[in-house]
Structure 1
Amino acid sequence: MQPTLETERLILRAFNLADASRVQKLAGNIEVASTTLSIPYPYPDGAAEEWISTNTIRASNGEGFPFAVTRKDDHALIGCMSLNLSKPDQRGELSYWSGKPYWGHGYATEAAKRVIQFGFEQLELNKIMAAAMAKNPSSSNVMKKVGMKYEGEFKQHIFKWGEFEDLVFYGLTRADYEQLNR
Structure 2
Amino acid sequence: MTSDHMIRTERLLLRPFQTTDAEAMHHLAGTRAVAAGTFLPHPMDRQAALSWITERVEEQAAGRGVTFAITLAESGQVIGAIGMELVVAHEQGRLSYWLGRPYWNRGYGTEAVTALVGYGFNSLKLHRIYAPHFHTNPASGRVLQKVGMTHEGRLREHYLRFGQRIDVELYGMLREEFLTKQADKKGNGR
Letter of the 2:23 counterpart = S
Aligned residues of 1:28 and 1:39 also touching (Cα < 8 A): no
| RMSD of aligned Cα (Å) | 0.9
CA distance, structure 1, for counterparts of residue 132 and residue 125 of structure 2: 21
CA distance, structure 2, for counterparts of residue 165 and residue 92 of structure 1: 22
CA distance, structure 1, for counterparts of residue 85 and residue 43 of structure 2: 25
- The corresponding residue for 1:48 is 49
- The corresponding residue for 2:92 is 91
CA distance, structure 1, for counterparts of residue 41 and residue 120 of structure 2: 28
Question: TM-score, normalising length from structure 1?
Answer: 0.97
Aligned residues of 1:9 and 1:71 also touching (Cα < 8 A): yes
Aligned residues of 2:22 and 2:46 also touching (Cα < 8 A): no
- The corresponding residue for 1:6 is 8
CA distance, structure 2, for counterparts of residue 34 and residue 83 of structure 1: 20
Structure 2 residue runs of 5 or longer lacking an equivalent are 184-190
Structure 1 residue runs of 4+, over 4 Å off?
none
Q: Show the 5 A alignment for 1:3-42.
A: 3-36=5-38, 38-42=39-43
- SS of corresponding position for 1:164: strand
CA distance, structure 1, for counterparts of residue 6 and residue 123 of structure 2: 12
1:45 Cα deviation from its structure 2 partner? 3.6
- SS of corresponding position for 1:181: helix
CA distance, structure 1, for counterparts of residue 8 and residue 182 of structure 2: 18
CA distance, structure 2, for counterparts of residue 148 and residue 167 of structure 1: 15
CA distance, structure 1, for counterparts of residue 44 and residue 25 of structure 2: 9
- SS of corresponding position for 1:40: coil
Query: Percentage identity across aligned positions?
Result: 36
1:106 Cα deviation from its structure 2 partner? 0.5
CA distance, structure 1, for counterparts of residue 15 and residue 85 of structure 2: 15
CA distance, structure 2, for counterparts of residue 16 and residue 50 of structure 1: 11
Letter of the 2:121 counterpart = F
CA distance, structure 2, for counterparts of residue 39 and residue 81 of structure 1: 12
The answer to whether structure 1 residue 104 and structure 2 residue 105 are counterparts is yes
CA distance, structure 2, for counterparts of residue 46 and residue 7 of structure 1: 30
Aligned residues of 1:32 and 1:97 also touching (Cα < 8 A): yes
CA distance, structure 1, for counterparts of residue 63 and residue 6 of structure 2: 14
Q: Show the 5 A alignment for 1:1-182.
A: 1-2=2-3, 3-36=5-38, 38-182=39-183
Aligned residues of 1:157 and 1:164 also touching (Cα < 8 A): yes
CA distance, structure 2, for counterparts of residue 53 and residue 103 of structure 1: 26
Letter of the 1:127 counterpart = R
Question: TM-score, normalising length from structure 2?
Answer: 0.93
